Amino acid sequence: MSKEIFIVVGAGQAGLQICTALRASGFEGRLILIGEESSLPYQRPPLSKEFLLGELDPERLLYRKPEYFEKLSVELTLDDAVEKLDASRCTISLRSGRTLKYSKLALATGARVRALRCVGSDSPDVYYIRTLADSLNLRERLQTAKSMVVVGGGFIGLETGAMACKMGKKVSVVEASERLMKRAISPELSEYYLSLHSEKGVDVRVGCEVSHLEQHQHGLTVVPKTGESISADIVLVGIGVVPNSEIAESAGLECANGILVNEKCLTSDANIVAAGDCTMHQNQFLEKTVRLESIQNAVDQAKVAASSMLGGNQTYDQVPWFWSDQYDVTLQIAGVSRSYDNHVRLCGKNENSFSFFYFRGNELLGVDSINHPVMHMAARKILQRKIGDGASILKSMTVDEIAAFSKAKPTVSP
């Protein structure tokens, strides 16, 4: 039996995956998982989707039942947070007063919501969604609220807006930039989503920045810097997240909008790895330093982080992918639609099913699929071949080759 003590901080997606991967790789030492929330690790994606309808029990979100952690001999400490890391002594200190020594440490502390800071934003009628508790609060309020203004036209705001709309609420969306989900999707798709939400009756205003909020007896008025004010019972803010990297920063680990990790998910301290939303890494596929906020990134980085804790040589080189559900439309993203100079639209079985392939010259950069899961899975396979083993076989894939691959007829967009 190994005498080593591995500690994982953060009982979320990445933290759970690190524990699972460590045991699957034969680690026999003590394994401690510490989480600030009181719940066992659970799925966050449904929190802004079907969970809001109120039909799903919170237990259904749990990735694993308590027996799983017993079986894996994972010592769980929930409802307690790591407040201090002393990397020179290899110790962590918990809010409860305990100090623990580690042989290897994994930081999987995720991210927290970025707060809207303006006059009125501290109103109790302002909601956010990051945790199960947040989503439970909102879903309870949605039982009686008749109207909601969503501040932020990103994934979480739009998914929540779509659910509220489905529940018969009057929904408005205000987005500061000139188009929806600008950070992640192409202008063509932003346009598609603008029409989709508008057709469902949502009042979507882009290029509309919030100035302040005014509290009334029954709700709030969102006052934009320009344009008409909007009143509603509640406001949902979805303006991004900030990484939970403070304990790493105070311990002297290199950080820059997240904990910096290399391709083996090692931090600037050889005994400490990090994975998931709290990390910043040089992404081989995107060819830039990024902080990805996705299940794919959390899971794949966690596997690599676990390998590094055991002295392995796995590296992180996965194609980024993501999904979003809004109404009856599932968007699946593979790769990236940034800095492309031409794109091709391939149709699926009906007009509500299609994919955009984005190219720089002849090089395929990314594929966005709308209700087109078959093409999304194919795209991930195609794109993955650009990196990793036997790299660059498919560095340049032409429009015709893509079309032949999918056996579909391409429509080349201008």
DSSP three-state, residue 222: strand
Contacts of 391 (CB under 8 A, 6+ apart): none
- Report the relative pairing of strands 99-101 and 91-94 from DSSP bridges: antiparallel
Smallest gap, in angstroms, from Cβ of residue 326 to ligand FAD?
A: 10
Q: Residue 54 has which token pair?
A: 């109120």
> Rounded to the nearest whole angstrom, what is the least distance from the CB of residue 82 to ligand FAD in the complex?
4
Report the residue from 32, 36, 158, 205 that binds ligand FAD according to the rule CB under 6 A. 36
Residue 48 within binding range of ligand FAD, rule CB under 6 A: yes
Q: Which is nearer to ligand FAD, 45 or 224 (CB)?
A: 45
Q: Smallest gap, in angstroms, from Cβ of residue 313 to ligand FAD? A: 23
Interface residue with ligand FAD, options 19, 52, 74, 82 (CB under 6 A): 82
Residues 6+ apart with CB under 8 A from 276: 10, 12, 13, 14, 15, 108, 109, 110, 297, 298, 301, 302
Indicate the residue among 291 and 346 with the shorter CB distance to ligand FAD.
291
Report the candidate in 305, 356, 359, 351 with the shortest Cα–Cα distance to residue 331.
356
Segment lying near ligand FAD (by CB under 6 A), choices 5-13, 181-189, 337-345, 357-365: 5-13
Binding of residue 326 to ligand FAD (CB under 6 A)? no
Q: Count the Cβ atoms, other than its own, within 10 Å of residue 393.
A: 9
CB of 105 to ligand FAD, least distance (A): 12
CB within 8 A of 219, min separation 6: which ones?
Answer: 125, 147, 231, 232, 233, 234
CA nearest to 327, candidates 190, 167, 182: 167
Q: Which of 20, 21, 27, 35 binds ligand FAD (CB under 6 A)?
A: 35
> How is residue 256 written in tokens?
């820059």
Are residues 190 and 203 in contact, defined by beta-carbon separation less than 8 angstroms?
no
Query: In the set 156, 235, 305, 344, which binds ligand FAD (CB under 6 A)?
Result: 156
**Is residue 277 near ligand FAD by the rule CB under 6 A?**
yes
**Between residues 19 and 34, which has the closer beta carbon with respect to ligand FAD?**
34
Number of residues that bind ligand FAD (CB under 6 A): 36
- Give the pair of three-digit tokens for residue 217: 């007896």
Which one of the spans 57-65, 163-171, 249-257, 274-282 is the region binding ligand FAD (CB under 6 A)?
A: 274-282
Contact residues toward ligand FAD (CB under 6 A) are: 9-15, 34-37, 44-45, 47-48, 81-82, 108-110, 129-130, 156, 244, 247, 276-278, 293-296, 298, 322-324
